[in-house]
A and B are shown apart, each in its own frame.
Chain A
Amino acid sequence: MINLYRAAINGDPGTAAPSRTLGPLLAQHEQHLAQLRARLIEPAGTPATPSQASRPAASAGGGSPSTGPARVTTAQLRAAERASAAGLVQRLATVEPALAQLFASIAASDATHVTVLADNGLAG
């Protein structure tokens, strides 16, 4: 998710959503990741990659090093936010109560991002 937002912010300013809208949302995702990393214990040897909860949805797109960064649309950001929220809610059953509350709170934050991305009438 963080990489997706960074790509959108750094993308073509004529087609990507304005940074003034995306910047605060990116900052909140960075806060999410920090909290998740603080709470989750990763197996030894696991590379320092964003948690599953913070990854963009498979359909969200993104560029490869060989082709350069792809344009990230607002529709892709909305889809990724929805997928993140749904994924977190799906996992509530498998974690202890305090972590479930963190997942639910992050999912609620993601849900508000969906609304912001829609309400601002950003190009999608």
Chain B
Amino acid sequence: MTASTAVPALQAALAAENAAIFGYGVAGAHLAGNSLAAAEQDWTTHNEARDTLAAMIRQLGAAPTATQAFYQLPFRVHDAASATALAAYLEDGVTRAYLGLVAVSDQQLRRFGALAMQGAAQRAAFWRGSTQAFPGLSNP
């Protein structure tokens, strides 16, 4: 793994995971039933991913970027619909962040990023209720 390119990409993925963890905490407060259960499951998934990324960054001799106390949300979350939209937004952000890992020179890291993208894209599709042709790419 080439640390010079890998660490910034890993840090970006970690930042996206931290934002997702925060955001799911907000979204969960407005969800119930199956949606709440899904949000809790996704929150757990992002916590595990955060720990994995932090360990990978440490292995490269760097310090994982600290979690922020507060993350600016893209819109006001006040009901189940906006909470669902937030969850999709968060997963889109995570997908984009892992896309950065796919561009590094290390082949294992590329694969790791691509597989992580699949999970995030699947969660985004669940929350959005539809799939996208190019998850993570704003301008393919």
Contact = CB atoms under 8 A, between A and B. Distances in A.
Partners in one complex: yes
Interface of A: 24-25, 27-28, 31-32, 35, 85, 88-89, 92-93, 97-98, 100-109, 111-113, 115-116
A4 B20 CA distance: 36
A106 B125 CA distance: 14
Given A97-B102, A108-B135, 16 more contacts: A24-B130, A24-B131, A92-B114, A93-B107, A98-B103, A101-B99, A101-B102, A101-B136, A102-B134, A103-B114, A104-B99, A105-B117, A108-B136, A109-B132, A112-B121, A112-B135
B115 interface: yes
A111 B122 CA distance: 7
B133 interface: yes
Contact of A104 (B113, B126, B130, B132): B113
Interface in B84-140: 95, 99, 102-104, 107, 110-111, 113-115, 117-122, 124-126, 130-137, 140
Contacts of A27: 133
Nearest to B115: A89
Interface in B55-107: 95, 99, 102-104, 107
Contacts, number: 91
Contacts of A88: 114
B123 to A, nearest CB: 9
Contacts of B136: 101, 104-105, 108
B113 A112 contact: no
Nearest to A111: B118
Contact of B114 (A24, A89, A112): A89
A88 B134 CA distance: 14
A27 B133 CA distance: 8
Nearest to B131: A112
Contact of B133 (A101, A109, A115): A109
B122 to A, nearest CB: 5
Contacts of A92: 102, 107, 110-111, 114
A101 B121 CA distance: 14
A47 B62 CA distance: 50
B103 A100 contact: yes
B110 A105 contact: no
Contacts of B122: 111-112, 115
